[in-house]
Homo-oligomer: A and B are copies of this chain.
Amino acid sequence: MDNFIFNNPTKIIFGKDTESLVGQEIKKYANKVLLHYGGGSIKKSGLYDRVMKSLKDAGVEVFELAGVQPNPRLHLVNEGIDICRKNNINFILAVGGGSSIDSAKAIAAGVPYEGNVWDFYDGTSEPKEALPVATILTIPAAGSEASHSSVITNEDGWYKRGLSNELLYPVFSILNPELTYTLPDYQTACGAADILAHIMERYFTSTQNVELTDRLCEAVYKTVVRNVPLVLKNPDDYNARAEIMWAGTVAHNNLLNTGRLGDWGSHDIEHELSGIYDIAHGAGLAIVFPAWMKYVYKRDIKRFAQYAQRIWNIDDNLFDLEDVALRGIAALENFLSSIGLPTRLSHANIDDAHLEEMADKCTASGTQTVGAVMKLNKNDVLNILKLAL
């Protein structure tokens, strides 16, 4: 086990009707708030009205910035920074999924900074302070509601870059599983793939002696695997929705990587995929992860066999652990297919036209290495993408 620091200060307010508490919670910090969200879905569902009522009842003045897109854009972030500065707003409330939250975090870091907020994302500067951010989560997936990360896309060159900083932990996040009833099946499945990927990026580590976190990873993983089919059958299953929602947060609040080094190679590859093609992050991960596993499992057959055994109950062949490991990968692929996700590029109508380009961009961006279980060069990434065809 490696030395580590774990410190997640985000207050989680979880359960039915909890969005009604947002006004009184924000009032502890501020009298004015920038309400930041995507589009019409929170208005259609009635969530927007309930949030506005709670804020009004608490005497919190509301400024609004809608229009957050998937892969949130720098342009809108800068707009949010301007609104906050002009109106002396000192608190950002994101309502939505990971995109709205990531965008809100960028605004929060940008307001007190004299330079361009993109400096934080391209690594030329670090935030020294940030406005407090809170969230009302509507999509269990990205885990941004209790993470210290934010990913923003700069339209000028279409760079997609991430920032991690302790100042970015939301001060509180409201998680009401009822708000996820209206998610389309495909979005529920993509969210699940994202959650599973967050766990696997941590689970597949080369750090030795990490038993507790292995078992915690397995606990969260198995919970997601069991409950996703339930909500696809019955979207209003509160209990199953609640399990997935809380699992999505625990998967990415850094508990699961205490004392271990994660891999994150599949995420890096997927970023290039969704950078070129119009594909949901979760769907991209469903394609990349099984291919990555097939390419790297020989580096640590026992770990991949443990994954197969403990997650998928494939425990009948201790004399051939490679067989167990491969059947575990197949089990994941079958599961992802069964919940309606593509697991090959061809399923998403993507051919081999841009494989080389993606492999290039993935390994050329900065000096950061790709992956940890196996450090991937351009040729490795290309081979993984070919395995995913």
User: Taking beta carbons and an 8 Å cutoff, which residues of A are in contact with B?
Assistant: 1-16, 18, 172, 208-209, 211-212, 215-216, 218-220, 222-223, 226-227, 239, 242-243, 246-247, 250, 255, 258-259
Q: Which of these, B5, B15, B246, contacts A14 with CB under 8 Å? A: B5
With both beta carbons as reference points, the residue of chain B lying nearest to A1 in the complex is identified as B242
When distances are taken between beta carbons in the complex, the residues of chain B under 8 Å from A11 are 5-7
Those 8 A-B pairs whose CB atoms lie nearest each other, nearest first: A3-B15, A215-B219, A7-B11, A209-B239, A6-B12, A212-B223, A219-B219, A1-B242
Residue of B nearest to A11 (CB): B7
Which residues in B have their C-beta under 8 angstroms from that of A227? 211
Q: Looking at the assembled complex, report how far the CB atom of A214 sits from the nearest CB atom of chain B, in whole angstroms.
A: 8
Checking B2, B222, B242 against A215 with a beta-carbon cut-off of 8 angstroms, the contacting residue is B222
Partner of A212, one of B2, B9, B211, B250: B250
Given the contacts A16-B3, A246-B258, A219 and B212 also touching, CB distance less than 8 Å: yes
| A212: B residues at CB distance < 8 A | 219-220, 223, 243, 246-247, 250
Whether A5 contacts B12 in the complex (CB less than 8 A), given A212-B220, A258-B246, comes out as yes
CA distance A5 to B10 in the complex (A): 11
Write the nearest CB–CB distance from A383 to chain B, whole angstroms.
34
**A172 partner residues in chain B, CB cutoff 8 A:** 7
Contact B7 A14 (CB under 8 A): no
B18 x A14 contact (CB < 8 A): no
Which B residues are CB-close (under 8 A) to A3?
A: 14-16, 18
Complex Cα gap A226–B215 (Å)? 12
Distance, CA A5 to CA B172, complexed state (A): 10
Task: For A14, list chain B residues within 8 Å (CB).
Answer: 3-6, 258-259
Report which of B6, B15, B16, B218 forms a contact with A219, defined as CB distance below 8 A. Answer: B218
Cα distance, A226 to B219, chains bound together (Å):
17
A1–B245 CA distance with the chains assembled, in angstroms: 12
Query: Smallest distance from the beta carbon of A135 to chain B beta carbons, Å?
Result: 14
The residue in chain B whose Cβ has the minimal distance to the Cβ of A2 is B15
Measured between C-beta atoms, what is the minimum distance from A317 to chain B in Å? Answer: 18
- The residue of chain B having its C-beta at the shortest distance from the C-beta of A244 within the complex is B212
17 A-B pairs with CB atoms under 8 Å apart are: A1-B243, A6-B11, A7-B172, A14-B258, A14-B259, A15-B259, A209-B239, A209-B243, A211-B227, A212-B220, A212-B243, A212-B247, A215-B220, A215-B223, A216-B216, A216-B219, A216-B250
| Residues of chain B contacted by A18 (CB below 8 angstroms) | 3
Q: Name the residue of chain B whose CB is nearest to the CB of A18.
A: B3
A211 to B250 alpha-carbon distance, docked (Å): 13
- Other A-B pairs, 17, CB within 8 Å; known A216-B220, A218-B219: A1-B239, A1-B242, A3-B14, A3-B16, A4-B15, A5-B12, A5-B13, A6-B12, A6-B14, A7-B9, A7-B12, A8-B8, A209-B242, A216-B250, A219-B219, A246-B258, A246-B259
CB distance from A246 to the nearest CB of B (A): 6
The CA-CA distance from A218 to B218 in the complex, in Å, is 10
User: Nearest CB to that of A146 among chain B residues?
Assistant: B6
Write the nearest CB–CB distance from A119 to chain B, whole angstroms. Answer: 26
Complex CA gap A47/B212 in Å reads 27
> Whole-angstrom distance between the alpha carbons of A259 and B239 in the complex?
11
- Do residues A226 and B211 form an inter-chain contact, with CB atoms below 8 A? yes
Using A13-B5, A212-B246, A243-B211 as known contacts, say yes or no to A255 and B255 having CB atoms under 8 A apart: yes
